[in-house]
Structure 1
Amino acid sequence: MLKQIFFAGISFLGLFVHSQVFAQTATVITLDEVILKGLNYNKTLKISHYKTDVQKARYYEIRSSIYPQLNLSASYTRLSNVNEPLIHIPGQEGGFSFPSLVNNYYSRISLAQPIFAGFRLKAATELFRDNILASQVDSQIDSLVVVIDLVTLYINLYKAQLNLDVNRNNILQIDQHLKEVSDFEKAGMALKNDVLKVQLEKSNAQQSLLDAENAVKMASFNLSLQLGMPPENVIQTDTAALVQPLEIKSYDYYLEEALRSRPELKASDLRADAAVKNIKISRGNYYPSVNFTANGYYANPNIRVIPSEQKWVGTWDAGIGIAWDITGLFTNKYKIEEANTNLLQLQTLHDQESDAIKAEVYHNYLTAISATRKIELSQQALQEAVLNYATENNRYLNQLILLSDLTDANVALLSARLNAVNTKADAVLAYYRLLKSTGNLNYK
């Protein structure tokens, strides 16, 4: 019993020293901090924001066509010298000539205002507004993917660090066991081969420890890349904030949340609305377009003044024009048919996405329920493994069992410890994936 207490003290001291050294060299970061940093750094989200900005620019561009268009132009032309034409009038001597004006100055200001465009401009404005909203929702979809990826990387690092602690604890336990077997050998109560078996067990444990250390480094490296931090930076997870009691509600609750909040459904609804606007645009081709135009001229010479004079003269004109595509009255039906088919396609896509979301929610719900129950089972198995090892160790110290039996008990204890820490981490990840499937995992 004293040896067991001594072993427990050494194990606790080893873990304490490890945690203190690790804390001095690592950056402790919570899951919330990881998500906020990752969202700010992620390049995919930046591209999504740029796409939204493009849609906004297109919206304002089409919207500006509703307002009057004002243009200003000016020019100067130098003509070559020619003989002035002389016109003879019967019954009169001589005649008169048109002066040759070689310097021509011209300026014009024009105004164009669409009066009626078959409701196409209004429908186009609403269409691009729906596209902006759909693009913003697409950014939410990308955010959900980025967040769950960051959560997965963080929990993978958390699992790797727990596995590293378990492997270190296992080596401490094997060292204590090796000391006991060596003492038995000196007392003639164990064979040299028994010592070699424990040393072989320690060698295998040290290899597992190396693998666990590399797993921590790799997990920390991958997470650092996604946060824009130096890859050599060591990240320590905040286990106190991560491991929380998980309360799993009913499947109907999560399904209702998903059907109400999933951005994929919102995006498909917005694109269906945009398709309806596109149908209105196509139907608008049946109507004529009416435009008002006005022009002001200030020229030297002004061609509207006869005879021409080398002086500045201002004139103007205004009018209303009507344009009607007669051929389009017969061919436009194909555009409308195409727009209607596109709307049906988007509506079917919405139903397809709804079915996929239902399946995703149900799968993640079952996984979360199963992961939560596995925590209880793994804890029970760990308690049984600890009790079994303590019993087998006492029996071995009293020379009632073989060394191989104690080794089997130690392997079972190591497996139970690893399974216990992994099931806790898997349950947390399963819970976050369940939240993601409902669309309620966004961080702003």
Structure 2
Amino acid sequence: MSLKHRVRVLGLVVVALTAVTIPAWGQEILTVDQALQLAYDNNPTIMASSAKEEQARQRINEAEAAKLPHLGASLAAQFSKDATTYPVPVYDKNDNYLGSGEAMAGYRNAYQAALTLNWLLYSSGSVSNTVRSRELAFSGVEAQSVRTGQTVENGVKKAYYDLQRYRAKLTVAQESLELAREHLSQVESFYKYGVVAKDQVLRVQVDVSDGKLNVIKAENAVDVGWRALERAVGTSLRDVFLLSEPETSVSDRSVPEDPVASAMVHRPELASLEYSRRSALSLARAAAGSRGPQVALQGQLQNVDDSFFPGGNDDWKVTLSATWEFYDGGASVAQERQAKASAQELLYSIEDLKKQIVLEISSGKLNLESALQRIEVAQDQVASAEEDYRMALKRYTANVGTNIDVLDARVALSNARTQLVDAVYDTYTAKSDLEYATGASEKFVLKTEEAQKDEIEEEEES
């Protein structure tokens, strides 16, 4: 072999390897994990959930502000037509009364600068329970965010698997159309030599047209699948990524043994409802505390003068007050009862949700087991249908079979391949639904109460 020929062969090998490893310039194969990672960064629902968490976090800070001293500054100016006066007796240096005079009671024009301090020292537990209620509510919102993330994950997975399902069905439709065209060419050849009648050609032509329509429908489904996946992820994908070839089997056929027990621990909605229930009870205690004594400290440092900025003598005062509102018209009692009733409602909601979870998991597990069983049956069915079509076509070629036998065998083959596609991707979808029902996720996991307290303390220190 000459050097020139060797270089040419090597070049062809390199091109072939490049075509296998790099599908297109600037494009890579999109996997489920990549789609999930893109959703973490781009899905607006996840971003909105984070904003909702921030709102709940700031409600805690708002409630804690009532425990801290409030310091303010003020500057005031007062202008009068005439200065206020009051009568005063007038004496000489020997204390002899000379008559009555007038003295100014203040400034005609007055300017006041002051610093004020207000501090609620004791609230009978009203403020502390309000803060605790907000903290529990924040934990509930965090749990809702976890479930939101899991919902997005499940939506992305199912959209990805549906897209692959549509692509696999498009392949089936294209293969069926190609078989129909090959058969049409054969029938036309037979008709040309007078072996078959014209009606057989027409019948196969109808079958080819039907195959074209199926391809068009499948292509439309693929387009819709891409749109659905981009909607779930939150960004454009089709111009950036390619997809791997659809699968014809499932390697992992395991089924969780006790998913209900796992769901009772990991389902975020249960934790969210429980946090909301405890938050309502804390609100009830806060309402009860508002009927107790309140102790407050007030302080003021002020300066008043008839010129701006005041430069007179400083004056200060400190007031320590204790108030106790024995009766408020029943407002606090109504608030307490309302919060307790809300907590009781949430308790019933938790029990109902537990039953709903059991139903979801039972349904998801049955769907998974059914889909796995269908894969084996569908694979055998495809193998039988392929052999049946091969034999029907061979019999027709040998003029011992009919055209209808070939058409029926091809329809059966197309249906068998379609059922295998559905079985495979029904399995993936059922797995995703079952994981979603149990609350399983690698990224979105419930935090323990200790971890939440540590996180809040770290934020306060920073």
TM-score range, shorter chain: 0.7 to 0.9
What's the CA shift for 1:250? 4.3
Structure 1: gaps (5+ residues):
1-15, 303-309
Aligned to 2:305: 300
Tell me if the contact between 1:171 and 1:202 (Cα under 8 Å) persists in the aligned partners. Answer: yes
Distance 2:334 2:230 in 1: 54
Aligned to 1:54: 55
TM-score normalized with structure 2 length: 0.83
Aligned to 2:353: 353
- CA change 1:156–1:83 in 2 (3 A) is closer
Distance 1:235 1:209 in 2: 23
| Structure 2 counterparts to residues 410-429 of structure 1, below 5 A | 410-429=410-429
Aligned to 1:203: 209
- CA change 1:231–1:261 in 2 (3 A) is closer
Deviation by residue 1:23-63 (Cα, 9 ceiling, x = unmatched): 54976311111122223222222222111111111111111
Match of 1:158 among 161, 164, 185: 164
Q: Tell me the percent identity.
A: 19
Aligned to 1:98: 103
Aligned to 1:337: 337
Match of 2:255 among 249, 273, 276: 249
Deviation by residue 1:368-393 (Cα, 9 ceiling, x = unmatched): 11011111111111111111112212
Tell me if the contact between 1:144 and 1:442 (Cα under 8 Å) persists in the aligned partners. Answer: no
Aligned to 1:273: 278
Opposite residue 230 of structure 2, the aligned amino acid is S
Distance 2:378 2:246 in 1: 20
Aligned to 1:391: 391
| Structure 2 counterparts to residues 370-389 of structure 1, below 5 A | 370-389=370-389
Distance 1:209 1:83 in 2: 98
Tell me if the contact between 2:255 and 2:369 (Cα under 8 Å) persists in the aligned partners. Answer: no
Q: Residue 193 in 1 paired to residue 194 in 2? A: no
Aligned to 1:67: 68
Opposite residue 283 of structure 1, the aligned amino acid is A
Deviation by residue 1:128-180 (Cα, 9 ceiling, x = unmatched): 11111111111112122222222222111101111111111112212222222
What's the CA shift for 1:405? 1.2
How many residues align? The count is 418
Opposite residue 37 of structure 2, the aligned amino acid is L
TM-score normalized with structure 1 length: 0.86
- CA change 1:239–1:119 in 2 (3 A) is farther
Aligned to 2:440: 440
Aligned to 1:262: 267
Q: Residue 327 in 1 paired to residue 327 in 2? A: yes
My pick for the range that moved more, 385-394 or 78-87, is 78-87
Q: Which runs of 4+ in 1 moved over 6 A?
A: 240-243
Tell me if the contact between 1:27 and 1:233 (Cα under 8 Å) persists in the aligned partners. Answer: no
Distance 1:242 1:137 in 2: 38
Match of 1:282 among 270, 287, 290: 287
What's the CA shift for 1:311? 6.4
My pick for the range that moved more, 93-102 or 355-364, is 93-102
What's the CA shift for 1:222? 2.7
Distance 1:355 1:180 in 2: 61
What's the CA shift for 1:366? 0.4
My pick for the range that moved more, 187-196 or 199-208, is 187-196
